[in-house]
Amino acid sequence: MCRKVLTDDVNFKLGYPNSIKELTKGKHDASNSEHKQFRRQIIAPIVGHKALAMYLERIEDIVINSLEELSSMKHPIELLKEMKKVSFKVIIHVFLGCNQDIVKNIASLSNDLYNGLFSIAINAPGFAFNKALKARKKIAKILQPIVDERRLMIKNGQQVGEKKDLLDILLEVKDENGRNFEDEDISDLLMGLLVAGHESTGTALMWSIIYLTQHPHILKKAKEEQEEILRTRSSSEKQLSLTEVKQMVYLSHVIDEMLRCANVAFTIFREATSDVIINGIHCQGRNLPSFWGRK
């Protein structure tokens, strides 16, 4: 059933509940081809080896500092919560290049925003959706001065630097009509990508740790690969390099297997575009989460 819903682009399309539409303001009504084009415009410049090389040093510092902090704790930790914190710090840096004060301000608000995404869209005190709407406004208020400052730098011809973040890219990208994105569009995109990105990455980290813990022989081989890379590192090199990342063949296979076995996204919504009956259920015009019908 899930395969039918997810792979049938004739009778189904991306579809979202009202709570997600209202809180993320994204391209929810775009076709699959439009979504692919949009992803190429926005995401391509911040993924891949070239982008990784730009951010690798800072990512390594964030991860090492976070893990050292966790290892020094004298009490049990909530693994998923802590992994989301790590991924949030990394993503904030890649997206905005922000300092830690801004990270702290946005982090708690992002949790409120995420909790409202899958809630009933009731805008009344006491409901998660109401709290999420307030969080969204506060995040937008934090982001606006950052956008204004970056726009001013571009206007004055100041170089942002070689290491562009997602905000720099959004300020340069033009839509299908050749126009730059408005500030509100940029804020909406950043919030949507920020919430979705750090949640799925944090979940992936959690499952990786769980599976490695459950399979010590796999952990041993992955660790040996890392130790071998360190042994062959030049004495003049102090930071992880892109060349070393490419040498992590076994670890790459471990990550691929984790992604095959685990769900790192809470759900993927699809909407029936025609009269479809699956297992006796009439699906016309319905929003269907990807876990619908899963045993």
**Separation CA 4–CA 98 (nearest Å):** 42
Q: What is the pLDDT of residue 192?
A: 78
Please report the pLDDT score of residue 2 as a whole number. Answer: 73
* Predicted local confidence at residue 31, as pLDDT: 52
Residue 13 exposure: Cα atoms within 13 Å on the Cβ side = 14
Instruction: State CA 144 to chain mean position distance.
Output: 21
pLDDT of residue 130: 96
Tokens 């949507």, located at residue: 192
Which domains are seen in the chain, by residue range?
A: 43-216 (1.10.630.10)
pLDDT along the chain (295 residues), means of 10: 78 83 67 59 65 83 93 93 91 76 80 89 94 93 88 76 70 74 81 80 95 97 96 90 94 96 82 78 60 41
Dihedral over Cα of 246, 251, 257, 263: its sign: negative
Q: What's the confidence (pLDDT) of residue 285? A: 60
